[in-house]
Amino acid sequence: MHMKTHHWLTLAISLALPAIGGAQNPVIRDQFTADPTARVFNGKMYLYPSHDIPSPVERLKQWFCMGDYHVFSSDDLTEWTDHGVIVDQNDVPWVQPDSYSMWAPDCVYKDGTYYFYFPSTPKGEGRRGFAVGVATSQHPEGPFTPLEQPIEGVNGIDPCILFDTEGQAYIFWAGGGLRMARLKDNLTELASEPQTVEGLPQGFKEGPFAFERQGKYYLTFPWVQDKTETLAYAMSDQPMGPYEFKGVIMEQSPTGCWTNHHSIVEYKGQWYLFYHHNDYSPEFDKLRSTRIDSLFFEPDGTIRPVTATLRGVGISDARKRVELDRYSRITPGAAIAFVDETDKFKGWKVAFTQKGAAVAYDRIDFGSEAATKVTARVKAPAGGRLSITLSDGTASELDVPRSEDWTLVSATVPSAPTGLKDLTVSLADGESVEVDWLVWE
Ligand code: FUB
């Protein structure tokens, strides 16, 4: 079966090739991470998400539940380091203990100090509203020291800090509309009365993210028109507007996650959209996971809509596991499923159920030393055969023995590939073969 004859179901491909590695969505695979704010500090990507957890308290069993923040960093958007907890709800003087409401944060740098902004529930019997506090550090990965009091005048959630081209800082947040104010030089007090961003169409809910590019200001935000949040944006020549609405950046989540929350950042010459879906928790959308896809601007500065992909960004290393289930394209007769429904962090597999079905995975780096062997983790109760084809047209056949359990099978790779290749795996024989991952050596 040739690639050209496939009817591909998903054609969502990221075109940028900036990083060597295997970034796939979701990018953090051992815990839930939501509301991902990405910031570049010292040439490295830092990720400051909220930390969703299954609620230990009855009142939040069906709601958002977050008690602390972790920060992650990466050089290549592929390998992420978890630097651990940087702020815990019970270490913040003004936060109601065990309120589990450490919602979407932001972090910025100024004059030798990193300022971490976070919303939470202030102390006080029966308090329900949110305030926004600041914690500071000399390092982007912390440790951060929380200030005694939240920022006076900011009542709401989802703080985002914008610096204009002169270095003046502004804070945007959600609280009875999309609110904004100038910040004083200390970045911890308001320098102007909060005001509402006017002129946006109805549908704003939360999660504003503002940034500047080539002298234009972009105000991006979750926006509901139908059932769940899309991501939309407006543009202005001034940081405080007036903003002109431009449209949708990302459509509603196909998995029905009600929220989406994002950040947009340039790294090594490529722009990225960080956002979240509920990949590891399809049945409960308050346990979310960070994803990344490439973002592009049109020549007039508007944003080209971004399609959510499983493949994500970056280049996968052939010598590390290539998770085929994070595919670029798939045909009928192949589908993905969790490897273990009782432990979803074990990830996904591809199940081939029809001869000829195929899954394509783009951008694998075979390096400069020829690979001579491919190994796959597979399962096939009645046995089968896989065809492993690279974009240079060469193919290997992998005989899969009868196996009720996962097993490793290997084959020689006659073409000895080097460099960058795309991969297609198809079912050459058999009726049911599952693939967890492939690796070359
Ligand atoms: O994570 C809790 C809330 O859900 C955030 O603050 C919102 O933006 C939404 O993502």
Ligand 1 lined by 271 (C-beta under 6 Å) = no
Any ligand 1 atom below 6 A from CB of 206: yes
Q: Which ligand 1 atom sits closest to the C-alpha of 157?
A: 6
pLDDT band for position 375 (cuts 50, 70, 90): very high
CA of 377 from ligand 1 middle (Å) equals: 37
Q: Tell me how far the alpha carbon of residue 304 lies from the centroid of ligand 1, in angstroms.
A: 24
Whole-number Å distance, alpha carbon 261 to ligand 1 midpoint, is 7
Cβ atoms of 346 and 25 within 8 Å: the answer is no
34 CA closest ligand 1 atom index: 1
Structure tokens at 216: 């234009």
CA of 155 to the centre of ligand 1 (A): 15
C-beta neighbour count of 343 within 10 angstroms: 10
> Given a cut of 80, is residue 246 above it in pLDDT?
yes
| 278 class by beta-carbon count within 10 Å (0-12 exposed, 13-18 middle, 19+ buried) | buried
Per-residue pLDDT tens over the stretch 146-192: 999 999 999 999 999 999 999 999 999 999 999 999 999 999 999 99
Helix-strand-coil split of the chain, %, nearest 5 = 5, 45, 50
Answer whether 64 contacts ligand 1 (Cβ < 6 A).
yes
Residue-wise over 397-416: b if at least 16 C-beta within 10 A, else e?
ebebeebeeeeebeeebebe
Bond before 242 cis per omega within 30 degrees: yes
Full set of structural domains in the chain with CATH? 3-10+315-440 (2.60.120.260), 34-295 (2.115.10.20)
Q: What is the mean pLDDT of residues 271-296?
A: 97
Q: Is pLDDT of 56 > 60?
A: yes
Atom index in ligand 1 nearest the CA of residue 64 equals: 2
Dump pLDDT digits (tens) for 199-233.
999 999 999 999 999 999 999 999 999 999 999 99
